[in-house]
Structure formats: C-alpha cells, structure tokens
Structure 1
C-alpha cells in the first residue's frame, strides 16, 4: 500500500483519487531509497510506473520545506511528449499540494516560457536542448536545484544529449540528489553515472517483474503488405477495440496508413516527429478524450504516452530495436488493466523476430484468422558458419587456389 511508504498524506490522497492502490515493483524499491536522500540508478522500462517512482518522493521532499523563488527540482527527459506526460503526472499527484511546475520543451513559445520562469518555480521538466537555450540566454538559474532526475537516460544519450547533460549538471548544486532512470545501462550510461552520481543505490527490477503479464501477446504471419493491410482492417472493424495505437516504421508509412484508415471511415490520426508540436499535443489530447479511436504512430512520437484506456497495440511494422517492442506494448495494459498486443510478421522478418523473442525471454504465440490464413512460413537465415561449411562460393575457391599458389612460391623463394 502507498500509505506504508511514508509519503505525505496529501500525496497518498491524490494517488487514491487516481485509483491506484498497490505500488509497482520499481516504485516499492525506489521510493524508500529516494526518501532517504540517496542517489539511485534504476533500470526500468516504460509502462512499469517509473514516472511515479521519482515524482512521488520528489513531491514529498518539496512538501517538507517552504518554497522559494528558485527551482529546486529538475527533471530531464528526451522528448517533448514525455516531458508533457511527466508535467501532467506531477500536477496530478501533487493536486493537494502547493507548488509550481514549468515545462521547457521545443515547439512552444520562448516568450511564454520566459514569463513562466519569471515567477516562483519549484519543479522544471525539460528537454536538454531547450534547457540549454535558456541557460545560454541567461534566463535560468539552477544553483538551487536539490534533486536532478535523468529520465530515460539511455535514450537521451542515443539522441546526442551527453554534452548538454554534463553542462546542465554543472549548473546545479554540488550537494544535489541525483536520480537516473534508464531502460538499459550500457558503457555510455555507466560513464554518466560515474561522473554525476555519488555512491548510488542500484535498483534493477528483474525481467520477470518487468514483463507485462497483463498483456496478451499475439503474432500473425503475413505473406506480403497487402495481406498485412487486410488483417489490420479485419482487426479494426471486427474486434472490440476501444482504443488502439498502431505502430509503423517510418513517418511516410504512418501518414499513408492513417489516410487509408480514415478513408475507411475509422476515427484515425497520425503522430510523428514531422508534425508541429501543437498538432501533436492536440492529437494526444483528442486520443485521451476519446475523440480519436486509432492512433498511427512512430516509436519516437509515441514514446512515453500514458493513456490508461488503450486496449490494443498493433505492431503493423516490427520495431527496429528489440527494446522498443517492450516500449510499444507498454502503452496498453496500464494501471493494472489488461491489454492486447498484436504483431504482424513477414516471412523475411523471422530472424529479427527471434532477436525480439530472445530479448523478451519467451516466444510469441502465433495464431491465424479464418479466411486470412498465410500461405507462406517464416524463413530463418542460415548461420554463417553453416553456409560456409555446406557451400563454397566460386570466388572463394579462386581465393583458395591463389593462397596455395602464393604459399608454393614462398617456399621456392626460401629454398634458393
């Protein structure tokens, strides 16, 4: 129970209003350590409740002492959408507390952000690039930051924000508490940890605990793109889908697919990085309000979306990276609800699918739709060592003869 985590009663009250009763594993392990003032490194995927894992104890920290004009908490995150989600979550969980939160992201007015910063601020939620802009223009003083939070640190490094993060960290108090959340902890993330954190507590929720057991995962073999489209139309028109996010691999695919579904009379919208920020914000809000039933999106645009009533996720195209599969299906089955994840797999994607299954630690369950059964099977590429052993290419034979000839000439030259 959240009441047992020693959080401010006003925060516990807000959690109850949201309908949450039991903390997730990442919340249960992280919150006590954060409340004790320790730096932490938490390895957790999206969809595991990690936002609340750092927002709740941070709000408690703020509630223990009076506010002042300078910001005391800084949350860095890779994308605008995720920053907006965190800002909303912070306001929701702190609805019975008195504090001010400001979001600093690209795609919104500098002037409005500057006006917001001219007032007393307790929490700043920002993307590194926009925050650097404000620092460069001397609009921001981070010297009073008591808690620095790096959310989705691995993705921020993927996007090239490493130097920005270091510059920002140097602007904060040396006595700050630093919390780092990351889906993966590779050598790059480890270097950041060594540079910015002090004797951190490591929290690694096991794969079994992270696995979205409340999500039913299904896979369907598709012969070609036409077959894939027919299956998608079947699911969207014949199954009881309340709300769904449909993932496509490129922005062009997203636009084309959204147009096709719209022409079928389906309530559909597209979401990708080329759309203006205000359009993206409106699209997400329309989905949240139920004005849109189907959202076609890219991985980056949909990352961090937190909408409780998404019943289905459909991988129209498989994700390029295995970890993105977890991020995708984590958009459904949230807040203890059940969900369904459907993946379409072309025969040539068999090897890629196996990589995803190895990452998951379990195979996906394949099934078929009556009348839309595939005529082809998945084809696994042969391992390289097997192909070399079974068959030698003609040019390889020539190379082999050339090596023998050079070796013989070498022996003759040594004997003279």
Structure 2
C-alpha cells in the first residue's frame, strides 16, 4: 500500500495547475500552540457525543422514551457528524478553512440552546443531528489544517499529539456531565455545551490563521466537487484506509453507545462511578496514541495499524468470552475491554494519516470522506448494541466484529498490493 503526497491546485474544469508550495511546517512553540488550538477544536465533537451519556437513562424516564429511542439521539449526532463533513469538506477546499469553521461552530451553539427546551425524544433527536453537523466543521477543518501543514511521519506524529488533547474529552466528558447532573437536570448538559461552543468560537476567530492560500483552493462548482470525490473513491488504497479507520472508530462508538446501559443497568454503577470507569477506557486510547509517537520511530504507520488490529481482535475474543460467561464480573469485563481500546488507540492516528497523505491536493474533501466514514459507519453500527440487547455480550460482539472486518480488509489490501508490485517487478526485469 504505497503512500504518496501531492500539493497541486485545480482549475474550474478539473485540470491540474502548476504545483504550489505548501506552508512551512510549524516548529517548536508554534507547533505546540497549533496542536493545542486544533486539539481544543476537535474536542467539541467527542464532548458533544459523550457529555450526556450519564443522562441517557434519565432522558428516557423524563421524556417517556424506551432506551432504544434514547440511543437513537446518539446515532443522530454521529449521522450529523458524518453528513456534515461531506458538506463542509469541499466547502473548506473552496473558500478556505476559517469560514466553514466559524459557521459550523455557530450552528452547534444554536442547536445546543434548542436542545435545552426539546419537548420530546423526536425533537431532541433532530436537534442532535443539527448539533452534529455543526461539530463536524471543527473535525474536518482541524484534519485539513494538519494536512495543509504536515505530511508523512510528521502528520502521523501531529495526529497522535492531537489525540492526547482530543482524548481528554472522552475522559472528562462523562465526569463533566455527571457534575452537571448533580446540579441540575439533563437539559443543563446542553447549556454547558452551548457555553463551550462560545469559547471555541473565540478560539477559532482569534487563534487560527487561514492555512489554505487562494491559489491552492478548488473551484466550488458541483462538477469539480464531484470529480474530486470520484478521484478519491476510485483510489482503492484510500478507500481501504478510510474503511479501516471507520471500523476502528465504530468499535469505539459501540463502547460509547452501550457503556452507559451496560455499566449502570447491568452492573449497577451510579452516574459518578460510570464517569470514572468510562474515563479509564478513554485513558487507554490516549496512552496508546501517545506511545504511538515512540513506536513510529521503529515501525511504519502501516505496520502499526496491522499489528494493532491483530491485537484488537485477540482482546475482542477474550472480551466476548468474558461477556457471555460473566466470568470475573465487572473487573473481568473491563480488563480486556481496556486492552482492546488501547489497540484501537494505535489505529486511530495512523490510518487517517496514511489516508490523508495520499491526497494533499484535496485535503478538506479527503478529510470529509474520512470523517463521514468514521461517524457514518459509527451511526450505523452503534445502534446494533441496542438491537442485540444493550448488554455486555451485545457490546463485545459489535466491537469485536468491527475490528475483525477492519483486519480482513487491510490484510487483503496489503496482499493484493504486494502481488501487484511483484508483477510489476517481473514485467520490468
């Protein structure tokens, strides 16, 4: 699976112009500042997803909705994040990074305020979709900015550092949500998200410069956008890497979707205990993403993804065994679960970095497809936990299934790529 990087502009008819120089890679304090800014922005999406998790049972009781319907509000958020990135990605390649970022953050703030007064579960679900669309802007623009400024190993390393900041959001989100719930009802959580949106809007306006110069922007007409999507979707290696990243993310979202019901209703944890245990899982993801920076000095990103998926499947098999037998209680469940989340933590920075490195000329659109795949597939797979029973076996089966399919896709792609390279070598000899 060869990885390449290009920086070229396109005319309105889709033809390539002369390549333009990419902005210089930030170094030192400038790079640290950029990572903190981007990390704060990408944290909006996981906070939007996770902060209300401790309140899911309470929302069901208050709005008189079954747990499956309450879980669909989470699915709506993931769907909004996926669809929003498909819309925002081409826009970010056409008009630059700042306008979509600021507009999306404003949309998120408005949706959060409306969630405060949602009268029923249907309205809340629709507003969560809109909220997800707004948060999508911060995700796709942050990834595009990384690709604007970094390439290759530097991109993978930067994404790993972003994971440290982004990973703190799932750790803090349920705890923050639980703290809010102590003071008020579940509606207060959305008030807190609105306040957070205002803070991040100020960050976007004041601390992030434009990283896509006009000469590198892609015409915003429909046909050039469709041609860009077609070129991405016909790149087999790009598609495989997007699917691998998406399936790894779906394993994480299966945990997010089912954890509140499994840990609170099946194992009897209260909201504060749930926040602590859930956060420990996020720490596993963060730790792996930071260890990934060290491992990149010894192994390629491609090999790390392969080995991590093998480990995820092995730990997933143990998790399923424990979940179905009940051996070890909650401790027996959480140990293989945390190990599996750690394995996923190695996949999450590397698979996107490999995918984005192939299409620097359309980083926004490529990031949009990547994000749409991750959150769209998450929106499809996460509800399976509820369909299968909202218990430990359902969560374990869904998580392990996603990792297994990702491993199969990557293995087939790698074997196919080696056969093609071998045939080319023979033909050239």
Structure with bigger gyration radius: 1
Instruction: Tell me the TM-score normalised to structure 1 length.
Output: 0.25
* TM-score, with length taken from structure 2: 0.24
Relative contact order, higher structure (CA 8 A, sep 6+):
2
More strand by share: 1
